[in-house]
Amino acid sequence: MRLNANISKLFFGVQTVGNMVLGIHSNVSGDSNDYTAGHAWLTITHDGTTTHFGLWPDAHPSVVDNGEASDIRVGMEASAKAVASRYYRLSDAQAKHFNALMQANVAWRYTNTCASWASEIVEVVVGEDVDADDWSGFETPRELGASILELEAKQPTSLESPKPLKQNPASSLMKRKG
């Protein structure tokens, strides 16, 4: 699926950007999982329709190697089962901010994994730190999953009852482009 076409339809079609919920997810949690195991991703839910966004390396056999184009892929996680999820209500401004970030050209690297990216997007868009830092400074899905569960224990969220709106943090879109 072409990312830009999908995003444009999602955000700039006949529907408004209002009433959107951002989700951050991991399918592993904690040190009982291997350091390199699992995956982390984001979702946007609008009017009952959920779109999945994940950062995938070009080398993965399940994706098309698109060379220098963005490694943000849409829909790969549609059937995945998260063990940890957290949800945030987005303002219109935050939804547009998210849209802009999804259209950036982001490269998967060992220093910018699916977990790094998902964590940073949430921090930039809604201002909550969902820590993904594992030992040695790498960011992993298992650590992100553990952080999600920790946050959920303090303040539970769900798709139906996301974390309420918060003022959009003053951050620059340009930080994520590169």
Partner 1 sequence: MQKTIVTLLLSLSPALAACGAAMKQYDKSDVEILSVRQLPSGSTEILYRPVLDSLYYCPGVRLRQDAGRQKISFVRCGIKEKCEIDVRAERVDKGAFKLLVPFVPENIDMVFGDGETHLPK
Residue ranges binding partner 1 (CB under 8 A): 27-28, 34-39, 54-57, 59-62, 75-81, 108, 110-111, 113-114, 133, 136-138, 141
CB-nearer residue toward partner 1: 14 or 62: 62
CB-nearer residue toward partner 1: 81 or 154: 81
Minimum distance from CB of 79 to partner 1 (Å)?
4
Minimum distance from CB of 18 to partner 1 (Å)?
29
Reading the block at residue 160, the tokens are 């139906």
Minimum distance from CB of 82 to partner 1 (Å)?
10
CB-nearer residue toward partner 1: 38 or 162: 38
| Whole-number Å distance between alpha carbons of 104 and 89 | 22
Minimum distance from CB of 136 to partner 1 (Å)?
5
Residue position matching structure tokens 């999602």: 10
CB-nearer residue toward partner 1: 39 or 46: 39
Minimum distance from CB of 167 to partner 1 (Å)?
27
DSSP collapsed to 3 states, the chain:
CCHHHHHHHHHHCCCCCCCEEEEEEECCCCCCCCCCCCCEEEEEEECCEEEEEEECCCCCCCCCCCCCCCCEEECCCCCCCCCEEEEEEECHHHHHHHHHHHCCCCCCECCECHHHHHHHHHHHHHCCCCCCECHHHCECHHHHHHHHHHHHHHCCCCCCCCECCCCCCCCCHHHHCC
CB-nearer residue toward partner 1: 97 or 134: 134
